[in-house]
Amino acid sequence: SSYGNPIVTVGERGLAHFEIRRAKEGDEAGAAAGDDGANSDAVLMDDDDYIPPDEDEEDGEEENKAAEEPDDKHGGKEIVGYWEDGLAIYADGTREERPIEDEAEVEHRKLLEEQSSDLDREGLWEESFGGHTDSKPYGPMSVGMDIKFPGSSHLFGLPEHASSTVLQTTHGTDSKYHDPYRLYNLDVFEYELDETMALYGEIPVIISQSLSGGTAGIFWFNPTETFVDVYGPNDDGGIGDTAGHGTTTHFMSESGVMDLFLLPGPDPHSLYEQYGRLTGRVSLPPMFSLGYHQCRWNYRDEPDVYAVHEKFEELDYPYDVLWLDIEHTDGKRYFTWDHNTFPNPVDMQKKLDSQGRRMVTIIDPHIKRDNNYYIHKEATAKGLYIKDKSGTKDFDGWCWPGSSSYLDFTADKVRSWWADQFAYDCYKGSTPALFTWNDMNEPSVFNGPEVSMQKDLRNLAGVEHREWHNLYGLLFQRATASGLIRRNPDKNTRPFVLSRSFFAGSQRYGAIWTGDNAAEWSHLEAAAPMLLSLNVGALSFVGADVGGFFGDPDAELMTRWMQAGAYTPFFRGHAHHDSKRREPWMFGDETMIRLRKAAMARYALLPFWYTIFREASV
């Protein structure tokens, strides 16, 4: 440190640990079969690494059906779908009851945790959770390290959490929280506030600010599930500083390696220059994307789109982009249109474009398993899907389209193929005025553990999903942004892609929003610290759904949210399909005038917004 004092110390308490992979005794054959996945350096693969499937492998739906849950769990009932919370829907109209945790099982698990660590004891080679079993072919694994910030009691970072921008203590009798900050990208339905629970994205970065040490930080480069404890200055419960100087953190990740970057600062500008050299700088967004975006799940059809657009025009209410959610597609088949409701998508886009507006459509990573759907048919033939835990069959999960498979975006050939799908001759009905929204990219699997992908699935390089889970959203958004650039080979046209999930480096590919918030004052209050925390992780183009996604805001809440949203980088109104229509004129003339005034204030500052994004991008 230029101040003469240490600003970051690592391993001071001797808690660095690295549990290596090993083969289970008597299971050498199984371990050998998984050797290709033992090296986490193979997570990202090039075209030359691709191994095609056997030619004689059947191309049918039934052989790839996942059998993750035992039949007796459902009492022989036929499953016809899954709710967003992962519980099954039965053919008789009933739904699966949420399981109640057995007290005996809880006590048994606690007893195991208290026992000495025997690597071969029962239970360490597999783990059950929510009716799913996670096979662990390499046994128990973890890496961890204690990292201290001497002289600092103000730490920031570890997005994404619906909590204070300043990190709070998680250990000790006087701690704010009693659970560590969890970093694991999940599709969280109606998330809780003021919690350390995992949300849609994560960046394992901590920034320290103090008078004695200036600005310093660390980047724990590990995309596996990670927990971070924060110890108060007077906490002597293991790794605290009883002298009352500094704050200690303890990182523990499920797998991977110790890849720690120190960011010495000593001021905020210098620190983010250092971090930018590691992960990239924010991309300069197109000017239109800095205006107001109007969205809901879902605008019903072309007449609905035209009516909304024309009402904005009539009221001289500024907006730049109109959005379409999943219902615009043909049966949740992305890159398609429902021609009953949107028979002329090109004409629709051209009409809005002629009046200075753009459109955005949603495209998610789950692909409907339908052999008549050209995306699925080609992805299957080319072997582009994530595999089951055996590494031989395409994984079959459940999401909006029903039975779905998931593309492996760690593979260069998959990202390149995905980018090609945005070409105008592939994405029929698209024009240069159409841009993209990537949702459900944690990835979300309705019938998976925690509504997510099983950790023991394998990518095309044979690497378990647990090794790179938190990269999925970043790699998906990267491939989409590449596609929007490629479709205009002779023009320097900047893309716009909104993503829900993210990791370090997502700032290079587009915007991020805070997910499914609620139309409540508490969620409006929580938006500011959540967005500031994303800023600490170098995500600048961020915003929260104006008005709240779930529920129905009254006129006062909508007004205050619009006024606040006008001063956030990404400015979008959005709502759930069960919410009442909430276009600005739906709240009466007096409220509409207030909402319009807030939007006009945003547009008055557009030159400022564009300038600071330009400065941040170079």
Residues known to be catalytic: 439, 442, 516
Angle separating helix axes 589-604 and 555-565, nearest 10 degrees: 10
In contact, 197 and 191? CB cutoff 8 Å: yes
**Alpha-carbon distance 369 to 397, whole Å?**
10
Cα–Cα distance between 38 and 261 in angstroms, integer?
24
385: alpha, beta or left, given left = phi > 0 and alpha = psi -120 to 50? beta
What is the Cα–Cα distance from 276 to 270, expressed in whole angstroms? 10
- Of 439, 443, 425, the residue nearest 483 (C-alpha): 425
177 token code pair: 């929280």
Bridge-partner residues for 434, per DSSP? 359
Cβ 467 vs Cβ 40: under 8 Å? yes
Residues 5-21 as b or e (16 or more Cβ within 10 Å = b): eebbeeebbebbeebeb
CA 227/CA 251 separation, integer angstroms:
6
> Rounded to 5 degrees, what are φ and ψ at 439?
-120, 170
Give 202's strand partners: none
544 backbone dihedrals φ, ψ, rounded to 5°: -120, 150
Q: 């309705």: which residue's tokens?
A: 446
Residue listed under structure tokens 């029929």: 428
Cβ-proximal residues to 283 (8 Å cutoff; 6+ apart), any chain: 494, 507, 508, 509, 510, 617
Inter-residue contact 468 to 441 (CB < 8 Å): no
Helix axes 472-486, 412-420, angle to 10 degrees: 40
Bond before 553 cis per omega within 30 degrees: no
Helix-then-strand count for the chain, H and E: 12, 25
Whether the link from the prior residue into 160 is cis, omega within 30° of 0, is yes
Q: Are 313 and 304 in contact (CB under 8 A)?
A: no
Q: Regarding beta strands 366-368 and 402-406, do their DSSP bridges make them parallel or antiparallel, or are they unpaired?
A: antiparallel
494 with 285: CB under 8 angstroms? yes
Name the token pair of 581.
Answer: 């229509």
Could you give the count of Cα atoms lying within 13 Å of 552 in the half-sphere of its Cβ? 7
3-state class (DSSP) for residue 549: coil
As a whole number of angstroms, the distance between CA 190 and CA 44 comes to 33
- Structural tokens at position 345: 């998508």
Comparing C-alpha atoms, which of 147, 212, 296 is closest to residue 5? 212
160: left (phi over 0), alpha (psi -120 to 50) or beta: beta
- In the three-class reduction of DSSP (H, G, I as helix; E, B as strand; rest coil), residue 78 is classed as coil
The DSSP secondary-structure symbol of 29 reads H
